[in-house]
Amino acid sequence: MRLLPAAGAVLAALLGGGCAEPAAPAVTVALEQSRDNENRHLLQVVLTNDGPEPVEVVRLQLRSPAFVDVAPTAREDVLGPGRRLAFPIPYGAADCRGSGPATVVLGYRRDGGLGEVELAVPVGDPLLARLHGRECRLAALGRTASLSLTGWTRRGGTARAELVVTRLRGAEPVAVTAVDGSVIITLRPAGPLPLTLDGPQVRLPVVANASRCDPHALAESKRTYEFSLAVAHGDGPPLTVAVRPDPADLPLLEQLVRDTCL
């Protein structure tokens, strides 16, 4: 029997209808990062559901040629229609040879099964480019020079040490332009700044004291013994570099905080 064209088209539509893939959810993505998440090497993936149906999010992963892939982050969240939610996920170390557009892989539950869609990060989003540039500049600084805090001693409510900058290779300019502490401990230079590395090694005495002891600071401080330095390397603007004392010196600083604050 020969089907009429119209009937054939109807039959083909009926037969093919059962095999059609369900449409992917209408979700858009943006990236954000708080200061706390920067310290923890996390991003906030901000998803917006532009469709009429809720989306059950089960996993998220950043994919970018500029960063090493890490395993997807499992989630159990429902993104309602018109809703906008931020999901923290880890991201890998910067690949300083890589560049190109990034996507966020969204795994979602549908009809008892699982689906997956890659959401393009907007090309003009500046966050990944900024993080990539900073991490690669820090890596370049780490190949050029090392920074350490050594020789800790204590007198009363004050601890003293030396900031030591040692050249590892090359001849690029390196200079410490500012010395800062943590939420609890103030770290001050006891000599002139900038501290310029114009030989194999340069040293600067520093003074530390526990200057903030309110309950909020004590409860929220997660990096009490990690101190911030501003370090210029090459022709670029100064980088914020975290320096932590050797483990053997931590008991002295811990006792300083206890004696001052508790």
The DSSP code sequence of 141-153 is HHHHEEEEEEEEE
Q: Provide the 3-class DSSP secondary structure of residue 130.
A: helix
Nearest CA among 144, 138, 136 for reference residue 165: 144
Domain map (residue ranges) of the chain: 23-125, 133-261
Amino acid 21: pLDDT: 64
User: Across the 262 residues of the chain, what is the mean pLDDT of every consecutive 10-residue run?
Assistant: 44 47 87 89 96 95 96 95 96 94 95 90 92 95 97 96 97 95 92 96 97 78 88 93 94 94 86
Amino acid 124: pLDDT: 85
* Domain 23-125 indexed as CATH 2.60.40.10: yes
Q: Are 256 and 157 within 8 A, CB to CB? A: yes
Fold match, 23-125 / 133-261: yes
Amino acid 129: pLDDT: 94
Rounded Cα distance between 158 and 25, Å, is 59
Q: Are 171 and 244 within 8 A, CB to CB? A: no
Sequence-ordered alpha helix ranges (H) in 54-169: 127-144
DSSP per residue over 2-47, as a string? PPPHHHHHHHHHHHHHTTPPPPPP-EEEEEE--HHHHHTTEEEEEE
Selecting from 2.60.120, 1.20.58, 2.50.20, 2.60.40, what CATH number does the domain 133-261 have? 2.60.40
Provide the strand spans (E) within the chain: 27-32, 42-49, 55-63, 73-79, 84-90, 103-110, 113-120, 145-155, 158-167, 174-179, 185-189, 195-196, 201-210, 227-233, 239-243
Amino acid 14: pLDDT: 42
Amino acid 20: pLDDT: 55
Amino acid 236: pLDDT: 86
